[in-house]
């Protein structure tokens, strides 16, 4: 492919892969509240199989606040068992790390991003015009996906639900936290919960955004495309975020 050529002369739209993913997104009715547990589990099983990860099981939970209670409570118990250490600077660092370990999201995040979001460095020797057009296509893809996914709405709901769950867990922990520590502990717990979340709308947004650049660089995106479509199927069935169990 002649990198000095005008991208608009090479391929119409945002590229075959990005166009296909956006077309699939447009078919999802995000206004409809679905509760298709079987559909979500089927899609998640397919994703874990594609990533060569053991499937941890799936149980439908009616709301995010209830769902996040389990990894938060497990994290607090890990923190308690370790002697509830406090550290300078980040007072409840050990607590946040315990929640992350209990949620088991780290390996899943890494596996997903390596497989479905192919990061890369831009080539500095490419013509400036070519790089500018790549940036324009990326921004256009991200804008279109954002209008469909509305990730800010989920972010606000996720933050409120994690905050509520964290306050509940801190209250139940009793004397593990001193009265003057409870506000800080709840804040760090809530932040750990959000960081441990596989936020499906954000993952989809970034995956779609990267596709134009990688396609115009001549990469085979068939595997990335199939993984993103699997996650879209889970979203279509009603899954907006989840916390994977630790790897066995």
Q: What is the pLDDT of residues 27-47, one digit of tens each?
A: 988 766 667 888 888 998 998
Domain that holds residue 187: 9-117+140-242
Cβ(244)–Cβ(41) below 8 Å: no
* Assigned domain for 134 exists: no
Percent of the chain with pLDDT over 90: 38
For 16, phi then psi, to 5°, come to: -55, -45
In a domain, 132, yes or no: no
Mean pLDDT of the chain: 84
Is residue 3 domain-resident? no
Domain-embedded: residue 103: yes
Total structural domains within the chain: 1
Instruction: Judge whether 123 lies within some domain.
Output: no
Residue 210: inside a domain, yes or no? yes
Q: Residue 245's pLDDT band (boundaries 50, 70, 90)? A: low
The pLDDT-based confidence of 6 (bands split at 50, 70, 90) is: low
């Amino acid at each position: 492919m002649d990198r000095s050529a005008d991208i608009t002369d090479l391929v119409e739209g945002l590229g075959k892969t990005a166009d296909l993913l956006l077309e699939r997104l447009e078919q999802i009715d995000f206004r409809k509240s679905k509760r298709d547990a079987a559909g979500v589990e089927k899609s998640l099983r397919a994703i874990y199989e594609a990533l060569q990860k053991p499937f941890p099981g799936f149980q439908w939970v009616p709301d995010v606040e209830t769902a996040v209670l389990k990894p938060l409570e497990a994290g607090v118990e890990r923190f308690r068992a370790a002697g509830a250490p406090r550290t300078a600077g980040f007072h409840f660092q050990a607590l946040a790390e315990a929640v992350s370990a209990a949620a088991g999201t780290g390996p899943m995040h890494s596996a997903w991003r390596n497989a479905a979001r192919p990061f890369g460095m831009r080539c500095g020797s490419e013509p400036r015009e070519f790089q500018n057009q790549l940036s324009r296509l990326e921004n256009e893809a991200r804008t279109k996906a954002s209008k469909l996914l509305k990730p800010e709405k989920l972010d606000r709901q996720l933050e409120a639900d994690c905050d509520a769950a964290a306050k509940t867990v801190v209250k139940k922990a009793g004397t593990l936290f001193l009265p003057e520590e409870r506000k800080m502990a709840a804040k760090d717990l809530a932040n750990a919960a959000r960081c441990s979340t596989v936020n499906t709308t954000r993952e989809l947004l970034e995956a779609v955004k990267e596709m134009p650049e990688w396609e115009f660089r001549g990469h085979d995106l068939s595997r990335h495309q199939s993984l993103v479509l699997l996650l879209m199927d889970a979203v279509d069935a009603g899954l907006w975020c989840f916390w994977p169990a630790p790897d066995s």
